[in-house]
A and B are shown apart, each in its own frame.
Chain A
């Protein structure tokens, strides 16, 4: 971990100056907005169960098993180590993979190696920021990625991989949207994954995704659909977001309602992200 964070901090130092740039005017809007959001959060947080209260949801379900049986089941003497390493081992593994991918992507994206002329003329000493020699070997790869993004035809292999990525990512998005039993967290993930698949397809086939007007319409109608789902219980006299009446019993109804809401939000995010990415791609084309 240290080998990852040290260069990051080292590079971060480049981005600051000795003296702070004073904003043109006092950011009163930002102040008011952040105070309002903070107050709203404080009100919401005080609705959570007391810290350490018996019967709070965080202490039910799996927590008693982790506390009582971890020693016997995993052999770890530390309860947290048992959770991170054994019970939630796949989570930890995926987190590690994600760190590796982030390091690779960050290296490819960010290390320009050759400082642009404008920078070099401004401050000679900053060329000491140039990356170690190893990064120079990555330069051709970075150029290739840039060329494809700028509209050049990708190689056959890259096109094959990108076309293959589309159905896989779409499937993954559906799984992400619908596998969250009670949570609504799947929408963002599903939307981002599906948008990535669309962009992969568009990059491979060099097709436009239909212009941003259509995508905007899709995003807008998806948001309207999600809002309609959220308000539907009001028709039956139930509260906002109270989907109990959607199904046979309480849990069934809630699950269905949250899934419908999540799907609407996911489509909104897909359309919004894809619209942005297509606009960026069209701008960068010669």
Chain B
């Protein structure tokens, strides 16, 4: 087990756990979205780790471009998904006055 493997995979698992905690425990919709982005990030890390290649006989290493290309597209789509999420949160705020989930629930009970 190399140091690179341990670092990448432990970091991915830790970031995923952090994201999951944020999504569950925080009431603010924007923070939930940021937690969702952390879940994205942990997957990107696993993919980037996959692009490592063994050194060739002359000592040079070239990163495998395929996982990097996937990660690039995933970053674009993850950011886009975040944007749609923010838009939906704004729409919720327009009708329920808040993005804190307990206040939204209180608003729903009232109306």
Contact = CB atoms under 8 A, between A and B. Distances in A.
A10 to B, nearest CB: 10
Interface in B1-46: 1-2, 4-5, 8-10, 12-14, 16-18, 20-21, 24-30, 46
A46 B73 CA distance: 25
A207 B98 CA distance: 34
Q: Chain A: interface secondary structure? A: helix
A67 B54 CA distance: 13
B69 A122 contact: no
B94 interface: yes
A115 interface: yes
A280 to B, nearest CB: 13
Interface in B55-83: 61-69, 72-73, 76-77, 79-83
A35 interface: yes
B21 A30 contact: yes
Contacts of B94: 112, 115-116, 119
Contacts of A70: 65
A227 interface: no
B88 A34 contact: no
A118 interface: yes
Given A37-B17, A51-B49, A51-B52, A106 B84 contact: yes
B73 A95 contact: yes
A110 B65 contact: no
* Chain B interface size, under 10 / 10 to 19 / 20 to 34 / 35 or more: 35 or more
A213 interface: no
B13 A34 contact: no
A210 B12 CA distance: 43
Contacts of B25: 23, 27, 30-31
A193 to B, nearest CB: 17
Given A4-B83, A15-B99, A110-B87, A98 B77 contact: yes
Given A42-B10, A51-B2, A51-B49, A15 B27 contact: no
Interface residues of A, number: 65
A38 interface: yes
A38 B64 contact: no
B72 A80 contact: yes
B27 A109 contact: no
A33 to B, nearest CB: 7
B80 A98 contact: yes
A278 B80 CA distance: 27
A112 B90 contact: yes
Nearest to B94: A112
A205 B99 CA distance: 35
Contacts of B99: 15
Interface in B75-108: 76-77, 79-84, 86-91, 93-95, 97, 99-100, 102
A21 B13 CA distance: 27
Contact of B65 (A11, A52, A83): A83
Contacts of A8: 82-83, 86-87
B21 A34 contact: yes
Interface of A: 1, 4-5, 8, 11-12, 14-16, 21, 23-24, 27, 29-31, 33-35, 37-39, 41-42, 45-46, 48, 50-54, 56, 58-59, 62-63, 66-67, 70, 79-80, 82-84, 88, 91-92, 95, 98-99, 102-103, 105-107, 109-112, 115-116, 118-119, 122
Interface of B: 1-2, 4-5, 8-10, 12-14, 16-18, 20-21, 24-30, 46, 49-54, 61-69, 72-73, 76-77, 79-84, 86-91, 93-95, 97, 99-100, 102
